[in-house]
């Protein structure tokens, strides 16, 4: 036991970015990831991708609508969200983010609406629940390719900006070596995408294509690739850190290397990713399982970066120990976000029954 | 809630100035080093054009902490809490206390105490990140938070390399040391300074060459250090007797007990 | 089916969302409805400044909403002068800082002639005055104000409900309280209890067989903490009006051993004078068992002077302590040094140093050779010792160990003089080889004398000098052996001796709490004697006396607060047995029976009143038992090692001790056993005239006065219930002398009332204000600025026209203070003004002539090294060997807490106390920081959390004092219908006193105390440590 320097009196800084933030980064990541997944099927009409892409789009929508609410809650002054727009501050990535999010969401919603209009119309014609509502939203239900592409482009630009700012906003925090590495945004993006694939697999589990081995296999491959990418980035991070080639990485590593808790999480995260990779490659059939694993890795990564990162004192010795409070600042918050997510999902899948959504037939027909 | 116009002006001014300055170690670092060599120069805040318009604040507040004089009594810590009504479990200042193994055989270990507070950096990383411009460096060098504007996003809390900021649980806004600006304005000293038992905290105007602070700083030239100099934050809290092992994150065993906040 | 599940899902989701975001919604609403006032947009809730000072002109502007008053702190026994800031609208104390007039808070302090206005400006930024004249409170002093409105305060008289210590109370009226405690009766349905009236029997002896015990009134005992400036009123009542002998302070469990050891050197076992280093001018100070800046009294002044001395590189100091504390500071490594020592072994270190000094001719023999002050001063020395006086060393001679007197040689006594009285001269060896009476000595006397003289009776006896006896004692053991005993290397012992004797008179050695061990008395006597060997007493920069106060409770000049008709001089054996056994009837009986020793239990000739022994005495009935115990401001159960374990049961048993009354603002571990609790005022609410305990070379007196409205309930006459109103009421009920309508007299002898606190304190103030050169008058501005307006009506009503403004001046300045410059004499600037003029007893005949009552063994009359032992001299280790108890546990004061600050904000910063363990000892037990462990001694075991670092001597475990409370908020009491709040965290940590030892050589009748001083033993307890 090292007793060279023993701190006898000091204070703690509580985490200031709460689990709310983790939820936000998790959901917004899933959203833009899923959005990207939706492009091949919905925009490029690649055969065999329709169902998946529509499921992905559903995911992008559900997560995209939930995420900002979590973000709002992470503000200790949620009622003042409008200050972001009243006092634009170009030096702050967060300030920019406040403008990127709407761009993305508006694009996404428009894009989704255009993509789903035919389906909505179809449901409107049925006697299913909320058929009336569906009919209303469908608003005629005819599809216009051009508008769709246009909306997709707006959403794409928004998605990239969101991906960029969510990564860089954290990366620029030099005060936290663990965050302050150029690889961080990449890691966020890759894991977000992998998570999105996982989410789509999850949705698919409840759709008509739940036994479509080809489809699941395809997804699994995509997942495997993304996991591989995640691993490579991780390895690169480690190499840079250990070798000391890149000081920022060395610092980042140094910050956490000594913490047993961290070593465990690191091994865990790596393990989970490897497992997902292997399963999705060798057992493409195990769709749901790998899906969940991927989601779990995406969450874990963000949890350890944000909460774990804030457990590292910037000046004091040792670590601040965080224990998840049960109230809104902690567990209740996470559950609440999930609740909202579920609610929106149920709502959407009622006007847009999964059966239709995930049927391999192209939209409208 | 009152709020002073001239401070807003100063704020706008210093912000304007800041937006101009590119990231990376700004020139005020250089000037600070010069200052330590005794060459009288303007500080970063003073470099802001608006300064000229508000000569009333042509001051640059700063603190000198003479660690040799600190007895770790935490009078500063407690008086700050009383004076600024800091919620239980939160602190604007504290004196970190350590038992340090001594290798030079004279004695097995020694006590090291380190008063910490906001450094009122001349290049404060906490400021540019604020998404609503609620936190700013005033022309007199003090880094403040405008509670009327703060949205409590805690970005500044993350960006401060010194753990000097926190979210105040009573106000749900960013909180930190203000150098007791409310007392300075009344011609008084910061609470932690006026009641410093060991006389370790010396406070004053960097630009007042005759002032106690400058006299002491000049006398100690060469011995002076700041925390985390490599961050290029240009801290305005200077230390005599700052041990290298304590300028950054301390490598050692953390304290067993952390202050308890009764909220949550 | 499916549909329903969806609905449930949706509903569930929505519900979870609502719950999870409730807070968010709430905050949003706040935001729009404009949330609760959050103060200034930049300064937040910060307090409005108490006043404004224009930094350029120095002009002062007041804040009409706030009051700033100078009074006294009681956050610890230092009793600093502080300035209290009060919000006039709420009447709450909002912040406390230092009083710039008080040397306990400021160095250098402002002169009295500075106006209150000037004193405010002196604290401001104007010309950086506030930095130079910084006046402070410590961390505790800042936090202490929380006690005023603490939910744990006792505000009305309480009477216990159910058995003692059951935490249930009934609030009762003041009248009922007084009636019941005075008249007694079947107060608790447990049978008859004698009231104070019945117990006040001034004639009937307690025990006809032992008339020496005195009258039954002595069966009422009183324990008070420290003299907080009110003690003399307490003594006036309990001793001089009520009549009991047994009124003691906390000395015996504070630093009793140091005080006794010092008392031996200074030759006074009642007042036990002690000196302190002149930190403002010293070059080298050796702190042995006192931790400057970590604790110590005066805490702040010592800390500040230490900090200044080391920063200015003027002062070098060494702290000899088993534990590393805040006394060390690595930022100034070349100025200070920590030398770890084994607890209880300081005598070995110090006698080793003495050996080195003797062997290297570093003892100032020229100084020691001066036999009297007259000769000394002629030699330019401001003090002298009895080192050259002749001591009878003839074995078996009845006066063995005593100094030779003129009457022993048959020299004629001056008429009227009694044998061995003050005028029976001591002797030195004269130039002609014949003994010479000290008063006749004109030059230095020989130090090395070993002669045989023929006494009056014709019997010839061997005599030697104290110097020789001390040297013999020092040389009795080799440096190596001393080193082995204290665990300090030979070269360090030599180095310390060398350094100590290399600074002329500007060096000093001092001790305190570290002496509270099983060898405490001789360790302390040795440390004190070290100073005599370099002759530093009364020298600037040396070993200096406290400046003392200004006489307030005095026989004049304005009022006689001391004498009154019917004043009682208490008589009889003190309950603490602090007199020579040889003076008791038991001794006579046993000697006649042919076997004088052992006595039934220990006696302590070398001690003042012993609170430590109260409990053993009363519960074993030796010498006699108490019928009633009064606890005022005292918490012996928490503060005395082993007390609760050994006597808790007894205290809880009304048959063993029928009546316990406490006067205290809080419920602590001791008065939790009380039958009645009388509320008392807390520091800023109370009156008092407090002097510096020590360490201030100039005279000073702190004025404490109610700067806020006391929170306690009021009496029928509208007086806040307090110690004062309680004793006034008792005096009225029992019609006691010295109180009531004619209780007092002015200097002219006109009778005056003593019925309200002001009658006492304001007149005491008048004495102080008129002492020597009377002080000036307070101006209306002073009175307005300092909040003294509050008490102006009383001042004008109680005092005479020519007096009240002078007394007001003291209140506006928070006391009276001698100018700092007068610490040294103008004409001899190297001499202190206030000097100790009696001899230093290098050989104490008082101790050297006494015997251990349990063995009949003689005590050594000079400094000597004896390993920690129990009362009959049996070494502690002979009973509790290292095999079973490998560690030594010791206690030290928290740098932040005191023994009753637990329920204040300071606890938020430092919530719990660890057991500090050396890495090697931890490794041997598989312990690491943060682990839970059991710390066990023969007195019991406690659960603790270990903190492992190098800052403690190997083989020693250290306990920070001030935690492990059972009361003061740790337990929620029920008071009538009201339940105190539950604050379990206030019980955090542990208290070493819960595992203090009992003394096996006293049949376990008592806790372990030092054989000579009777002081509690809290350092060097044999211990084991194991994982929990
Ligand atoms: N912070 C703070 N200050 C205080 C107080 C407080 O409660 N807290 N209380 C006040 C009171 S009442 C008093 S009496 C004074 C006491 O002031 P001090 O006497 O200075 O303090 P203590 O902690 O009692 O003892 C001093 C040191 O003795 C050491 N020690 C223990 N055993 C031994 C030993 O065998 N040999 C040696 N050489 N050292 C040993 C302890 O580690 C401790 O550091 O402090 C006063 N000031
Ligand atoms: N293990 C260990 N034991 C120790 C010590 C140690 O260092 N270690 N220190 C020892 C020392 S140095 C001392 S002096 C003793 C102290 O022990 P004591 O003097 O007996 O008691 P304290 O705990 O100082 O305080 C006594 C009570 O005074 C009450 N009180 C506080 N303020 C006021 C007031 O304004 N008015 C009145 N009426 N009451 C008030 C509080 O209820 C408090 O419990 O403890 C000794 N015990
Ligand atoms: S110390 Fe932190 S909070 Fe203070 S100015 Fe520097 S960066 Fe900002
Ligand atoms: S917490 Fe307030 S001050 Fe800090 S960055 Fe956010 S808005 Fe700005
Ligand atoms: S200057 Fe004021 S706010 Fe800053 S630490 Fe000191 S007391 Fe606290
Ligand atoms: S008040 Fe001064 S001496 Fe005391 S801890 Fe703070 S800085 Fe150190
Ligand atoms: S040293 Fe003691 S008396 Fe002085 S301010 Fe601190 S607590 Fe109060
Ligand atoms: Mo004490």
CATH number, residue A213: 1.20.1630.10
Residue A244: per-residue pLDDT: 82
| Percent of chain C at pLDDT exceeding 90 | 96
d(CA A31, CA A100): 14
In a domain, A308, yes or no: yes
Give the length of chain B: 264
- Give how many domains chain A has, as a whole number: 1
B62: alpha, beta or left, given left = phi > 0 and alpha = psi -120 to 50?
beta
In a domain, A8, yes or no: no
Residue A227: per-residue pLDDT: 92
- CA closest to C896 among chain B residues: B73
Cβ-Cβ contacts under 8 Å, B109 against chain C: 324, 338, 949-951
User: Is the pLDDT score of C739 beyond 50?
Assistant: yes
- Ligand 7 geometric centre to CA of C134 (Å): 15
- The closest CB to that of A5, out of B18, B154, B250, belongs to B250
Q: How many CB pairs under 8 A join A and C?
A: 100
Mean confidence (pLDDT) of chain A: 91
Residue A254: per-residue pLDDT: 87
Chain position carrying tokens 């049960």 = A326
Residue B58, CB-side half-sphere exposure with 13 Å CA sphere:
8
User: Is the pLDDT score of B32 beyond 50?
Assistant: no
User: Is the pLDDT score of B56 beyond 60?
Assistant: no
Nearest chain A Cα distance for residue B210, angstroms: 34
In a domain, A276, yes or no: yes
Domains in chain B (CATH in brackets) are 2-17+44-244 (3.30.70.20)
Does residue C981 belong to the interface with chain B, where contact is any CB pair within 8 Å?
A: no
* Coil, strand or helix at C681: coil
d(CA C416, CA C422): 11
In a domain, A10, yes or no: no
User: Is the pLDDT score of C77 beyond 60?
Assistant: yes
* The token pair that represents C98 in the structure block: 């230092």
Which residues, in sequence order, are bridge partners of residue B237? Answer: B63
* Other CB atoms within 10 A of residue C829 CB: 10
* Coil, strand or helix at C477: coil
* The token pair that represents A229 in the structure block: 């990418």
The number of helix segments (H) and strand segments (E) in chain A equals 14, 1
d(CA C452, CA C472): 18
Q: What is the mean pLDDT of residues B48-52?
A: 26
Structural domain range at position A272: 19-312+322-357
- Ligand 5 geometric centre to CA of A145 (Å): 63
d(CA C43, CA B3): 10
d(CA B42, CA B207): 8
pLDDT tier at C161 (50, 70, 90 boundaries)?
A: very high
Full-model pTM: 0.94
Closest alpha carbon to C694 in C299, C265, C261, C285: C299
Which residues, in sequence order, are bridge partners of residue C158? Answer: C171, C677
d(CA C243, CA C247): 10
Give the length of chain A: 365
- The closest CB to that of A76, out of B132, B172, B255, belongs to B172
- The pair phi, psi for residue C44, each rounded to 5°, is 60, -135
d(CA C797, CA C791): 10
Instruction: Pick the range with the lowest mean pLDDT from A198-207, C80-89, C514-523.
Output: A198-207
pLDDT tier at A131 (50, 70, 90 boundaries)?
A: confident
d(CA C702, CA C690): 5
Q: Which residues surround ligand 2 with Cβ inside 6 Å?
A: C 74, 77, 225, 250, 253-255, 513, 633-636, 638-639, 663-666, 668, 680, 682-683, 686, 891, 893, 899-900, 961, 992-993, 1018
C-alpha C561: how far from chain center: 25
Residue A53: per-residue pLDDT: 94
| C940-948 and C1021-1027 strand pairing | unpaired
In a domain, A6, yes or no: no
Residues A91, B129: C-beta atoms closer than 8 Å:
yes
- Ligand 2 geometric centre to CA of C917 (Å): 26
Q: What is the mean pLDDT of residues C318-329?
A: 98
Closest alpha carbon to A129 in A354, A362, A353: A353
* Other CB atoms within 10 A of residue A83 CB: 24
Residues B255, A316: C-beta atoms closer than 8 Å:
yes
What is the tens place of the pLDDT at every residue in C543-593?
999 999 999 999 989 999 999 999 999 999 999 999 999 999 999 999 999
Burial C64-101 (b: 16+ CB within 10 A, else e): eebbbbbbbbbbbbbbbbbbbbbbeeeeebbbbbbbbb
What is the tens place of the pLDDT at every residue in C953-995?
999 999 999 999 999 999 999 999 999 999 999 999 999 999 9
Chain position carrying tokens 């753990």 = B163
**Ligand whose nearest atom lies closest to the CA of A91:** 4
Nearest chain A Cα distance for residue C915, angstroms: 12
- Ligand 4 geometric centre to CA of A150 (Å): 36
Closest alpha carbon to C310 in B69, B16, B177: B69
What is the tens place of the pLDDT at every residue in C477-506?
999 999 999 999 999 999 999 999 999 999
| B135-137 and B94-101 strand pairing | unpaired
Cβ-Cβ contacts under 8 Å, A2 against chain C: none
d(CA C219, CA A216): 94
Does residue C123 belong to the interface with chain B, where contact is any CB pair within 8 Å?
A: yes
pLDDT tier at A257 (50, 70, 90 boundaries)?
A: confident
User: Is the pLDDT score of B48 beyond 50?
Assistant: no
Cis (ω within 30 of 0) for the bond into C623? yes
Longest dimension (CA), chain A: 76
Residue B13, CB-side half-sphere exposure with 13 Å CA sphere:
22
B139: alpha, beta or left, given left = phi > 0 and alpha = psi -120 to 50?
alpha
Residue A365: per-residue pLDDT: 40
What is the tens place of the pLDDT at every residue in C840-879?
999 999 999 999 999 999 999 999 999 999 999 999 999 9
Which residues, in sequence order, are bridge partners of residue C453? Answer: C461
Q: What is the mean pLDDT of residues C596-601?
A: 97
| Percent of chain C at pLDDT exceeding 70 | 99
């Amino acid at each position: 036991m090292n007793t060279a320097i023993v701190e006898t009196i000091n204070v703690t800084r509580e985490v200031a970015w709460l689990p709310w933030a983790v939820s936000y980064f998790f959901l917004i990541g899933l959203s833009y990831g899923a959005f990207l997944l939706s492009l091949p099927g919905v925009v490029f009409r690649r055969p065999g991708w329709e169902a998946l892409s529509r499921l992905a789009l559903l995911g992008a929508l559900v997560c995209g609508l939930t995420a900002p609410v979590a973000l709002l809650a992470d503000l200790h002054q949620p009622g003042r969200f409008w200050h972001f727009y009243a006092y634009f501050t170009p030096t702050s990535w967060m300030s920019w983010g406040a403008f990127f999010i709407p761009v993305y969401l508006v694009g996404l919603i428009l894009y989704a609406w255009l993509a789903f209009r035919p389906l909505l119309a179809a449901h409107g014609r049925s006697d299913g629940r909320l058929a009336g509502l569906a009919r209303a939203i469908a608003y005629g239900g005819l599809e216009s390719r051009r508008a769709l592409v246009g909306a997709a482009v707006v959403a794409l630009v928004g998605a990239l900006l969101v991906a960029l700012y969510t990564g860089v906003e954290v990366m620029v925090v030099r005060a936290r070596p663990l965050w302050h590495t150029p690889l961080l945004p990449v890691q966020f993006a890759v894991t977000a995408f992998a998570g999105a694939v996982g989410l789509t697999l999850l949705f698919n589990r409840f759709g008509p294509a739940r036994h479509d081995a080809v489809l699941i296999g395809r997804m699994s491959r995509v997942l495997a690739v993304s996991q591989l990418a995640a691993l490579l980035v991780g390895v690169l991070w480690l190499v840079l850190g250990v070798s000391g080639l890149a000081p920022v990485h060395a610092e980042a590593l140094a910050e956490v290397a000594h913490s047993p808790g961290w070593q465990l999480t690191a091994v865990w995260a790596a393990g989970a990713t490897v497992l997902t990779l292997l399963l999705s490659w060798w057992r493409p059939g195990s769709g749901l399982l790998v899906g969940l694993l991927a989601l779990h890795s995406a969450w874990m990564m963000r949890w350890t970066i944000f909460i774990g990162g804030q457990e590292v004192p910037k000046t004091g010795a040792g670590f601040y120990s965080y224990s998840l409070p049960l109230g809104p600042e902690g567990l209740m918050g996470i559950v609440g976000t999930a609740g909202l997510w579920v609610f929106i999902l149920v709502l959407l899948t009622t006007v847009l029954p999964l059966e239709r959504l995930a049927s391999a037939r192209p939209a409208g027909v | 809630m009152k709020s002073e116009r001239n401070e807003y002006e100063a704020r706008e001014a210093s912000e304007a100035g800041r937006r101009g300055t590119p990231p990376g170690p700004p020139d005020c670092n250089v000037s600070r080093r010069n200052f330590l060599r005794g060459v009288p120069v303007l500080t970063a805040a003073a470099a802001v054009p608006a300064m000229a318009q508000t000569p009333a604040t042509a001051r640059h507040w700063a603190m000198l902490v003479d660690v040799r004089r600190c007895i770790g009594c935490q009078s500063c810590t407690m008086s700050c809490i009383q004076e600024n009504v800091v919620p239980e479990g939160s602190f604007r200042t504290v004196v970190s206390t350590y038992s340090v193994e001594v290798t030079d055989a004279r004695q097995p270990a020694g006590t090291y105490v380190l008063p910490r507070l906001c450094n009122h950096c001349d290049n404060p990383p906490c400021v540019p990140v604020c998404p609503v411009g609620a936190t700013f460096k005033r022309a007199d060098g003090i880094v403040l938070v405008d509670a009327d504007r703060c949205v409590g996003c805690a970005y500044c809390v993350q960006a401060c390399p010194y753990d000097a900021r926190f979210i105040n649980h009573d106000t749900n806004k960013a909180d930190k040391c203000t150098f007791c600006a409310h007392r300075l304005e009344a011609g008084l000293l910061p609470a932690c300074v006026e009641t410093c038992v060991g006389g370790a905290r010396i406070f004053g105007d960097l630009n007042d060459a005759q002032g106690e602070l400058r006299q002491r700083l000049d006398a100690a030239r060469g011995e002076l250090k700041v925390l985390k100099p490599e961050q290029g934050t240009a801290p305005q809290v200077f230390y005599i007797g700052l041990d290298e092992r304590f300028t950054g994150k301390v490598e050692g065993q953390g304290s067993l007990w952390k202050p308890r906040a009764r909220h949550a | 089916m499916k549909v329903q599940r969806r609905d449930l899902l949706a509903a569930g989701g929505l519900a979870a969302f609502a719950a999870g975001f409730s807070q968010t919604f709430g905050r949003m609403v706040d935001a729009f409805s404009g949330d609760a006032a959050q103060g200034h947009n930049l300064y937040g809730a910060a307090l409005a400044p108490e006043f404004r000072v224009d930094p350029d002109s120095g002009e002062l502007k007041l804040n009409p909403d706030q009051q700033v008053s100078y009074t006294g702190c009681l956050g610890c026994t230092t009793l600093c002068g502080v300035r209290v800031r009060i919000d006039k609208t709420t009447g709450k104390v909002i912040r406390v800082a230092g009083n710039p007039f008080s040397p306990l808070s400021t160095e250098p302090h402002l002169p009295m002639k500075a106006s209150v206005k000037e004193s405010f400006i002196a604290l401001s930024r104007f010309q950086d005055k506030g930095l130079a004249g910084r006046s402070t409170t410590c961390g505790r002093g800042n936090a202490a104000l929380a006690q005023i409105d603490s939910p744990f305060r006792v505000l009305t008289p309480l009477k216990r409900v159910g058995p003692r210590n059951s935490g249930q109370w009934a609030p009762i009226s003041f009248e009922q309280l007084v009636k019941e405690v005075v008249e007694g009766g079947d107060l608790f349905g447990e049978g008859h209890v004698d009231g104070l009236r019945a117990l006040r029997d001034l004639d009937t002896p307690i025990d006809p067989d032992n008339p020496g015990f005195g009258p039954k009134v002595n069966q009422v005992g009183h324990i008070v903490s420290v003299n907080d400036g009110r003690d003399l009123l307490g003594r006036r009542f309990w001793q001089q009006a009520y009549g009991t002998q047994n009124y003691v302070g906390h000395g015996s469990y504070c630093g009793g051993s140091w005080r006794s050891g010092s008392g031996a050197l200074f030759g006074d076992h009642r007042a036990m004078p002690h000196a302190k280093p002149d930190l403002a001018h010293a070059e080298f100070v050796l702190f042995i068992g006192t931790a400057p800046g970590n604790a110590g009294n005066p805490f702040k002044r010592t800390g500040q002077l230490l900090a200044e001395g080391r920063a200015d590189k003027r002062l070098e100091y060494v702290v000899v302590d088993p534990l590393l504390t805040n006394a060390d500071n690595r930022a100034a490594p070349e100025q200070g040094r920590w030398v770890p020592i084994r607890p209880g072994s300081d005598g070995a270190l110090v006698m080793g140093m003495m050996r080195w000094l003797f062997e290297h001719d570093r003892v100032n023999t020229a100084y020691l050779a001066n036999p009297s002050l007259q000769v000394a001063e002629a030699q330019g020395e401001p003090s002298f010792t009895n080192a050259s006086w002749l001591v009878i060393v003839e074995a078996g001679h009845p006066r063995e160990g005593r100094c030779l007197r003129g009457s022993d040689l048959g020299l004629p006594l001056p008429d009227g003089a009694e044998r061995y009285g003050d005028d029976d001269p001591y002797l030195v060896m004269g130039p002609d080889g014949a003994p010479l009476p000290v008063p006749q000595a004109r030059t230095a006397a020989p130090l090395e004398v070993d002669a045989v003289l023929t006494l009056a009776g014709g019997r010839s006896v061997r005599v030697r000098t104290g110097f020789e006896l001390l040297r013999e004692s020092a040389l009795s053991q080799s440096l190596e052996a001393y080193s082995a005993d204290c665990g300090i290397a030979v070269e360090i012992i030599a180095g310390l001796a060398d350094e100590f004797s290399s600074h002329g008179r500007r060096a000093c050695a001092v001790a305190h709490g570290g002496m509270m061990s099983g060898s405490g008395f001789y360790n302390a006597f040795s440390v004190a004697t070290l100073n005599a060997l370099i002759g530093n007493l009364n020298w600037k920069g040396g070993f200096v006396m406290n400046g003392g106060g200004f006489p307030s409770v005095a026989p004049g000049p304005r009022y006689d607060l001391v004498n009154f008709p019917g004043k009682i001089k208490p008589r009889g054996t003190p309950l603490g047995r602090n007199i020579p056994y040889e003076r008791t009837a038991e001794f006579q009986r046993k000697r006649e029976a042919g076997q004088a020793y052992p006595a039934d239990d220990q006696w302590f000739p070398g001690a003042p009143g012993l609170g430590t022994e109260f409990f053993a005495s009363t519960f074993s009935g030796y010498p006699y038992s108490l019928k009633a115990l009064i606890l005022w401001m005292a918490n012996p159960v928490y503060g005395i090692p082993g007390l609760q374990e050994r006597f808790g049961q007894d205290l809880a048993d009304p048959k063993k001790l029928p009546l316990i009354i406490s006067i205290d603002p809080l419920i602590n571990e001791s008065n939790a056993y009380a039958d009645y609790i009388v509320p008392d005022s807390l520091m800023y609410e109370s009156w008092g005239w407090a002097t510096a305990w020590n360490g201030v070379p100039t005279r000073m007196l702190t004025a404490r006065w109610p700067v806020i409205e006391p929170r306690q309930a009021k009496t029928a006459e509208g007086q806040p219930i307090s110690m004062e109103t309680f004793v006034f009421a008792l005096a009225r009920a029992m019609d006691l002398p010295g109180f009531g309508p004619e209780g007092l007299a002015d200097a002219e002898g006109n009778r005056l009332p003593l019925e309200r606190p002001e009658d006492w304190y304001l007149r005491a103030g008048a004495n102080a204000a008129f002492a020597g050169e009377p002080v000036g008058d307070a101006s209306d501005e002073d009175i307005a600025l300092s909040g003294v307006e509050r008490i102006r009506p009383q001042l004008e009503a109680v005092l005479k026209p020519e007096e009240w403004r002078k007394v007001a001046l003291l209140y506006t300045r928070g006391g009276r203070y001698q100018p700092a410059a007068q610490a040294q004499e103008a004409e001899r600037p190297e001499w202190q003004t206030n000097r100790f003029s009696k001899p230093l007893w290098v050989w104490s005949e008082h101790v050297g002539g006494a015997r251990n009552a349990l063995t009949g063994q003689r005590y050594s009359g000079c400094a000597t090294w004896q390993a920690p032992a129990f009362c009959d001299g049996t070494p502690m280790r002979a009973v509790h060997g290292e095999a079973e108890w490998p560690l030594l546990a010791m206690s030290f004061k928290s740098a932040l807490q005191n023994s009753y600050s637990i329920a204040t904000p300071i606890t938020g910063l430092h919530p719990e106390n660890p057991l500090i363990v050396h890495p090697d000892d931890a490794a041997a037990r598989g312990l690491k920081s943060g682990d839970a462990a059991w710390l066990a001694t023969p007195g019991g075991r406690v659960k603790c959390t270990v903190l492992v670092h190098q800052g403690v001597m190997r083989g020693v475990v250290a306990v920070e004092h001030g935690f492990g409370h059972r009361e003061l908020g740790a337990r929620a009491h029920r008071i009538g219908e009201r339940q105190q709040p539950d604050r379990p965290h206030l019980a955090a940590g542990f208290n070493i006193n819960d595992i203090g030892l009992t003394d096996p050589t006293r049949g376990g009748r008592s806790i372990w105390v030092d054989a000579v001083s009777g002081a509690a033993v809290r350092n060097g307890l044999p211990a084991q440590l194991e994982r929990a």
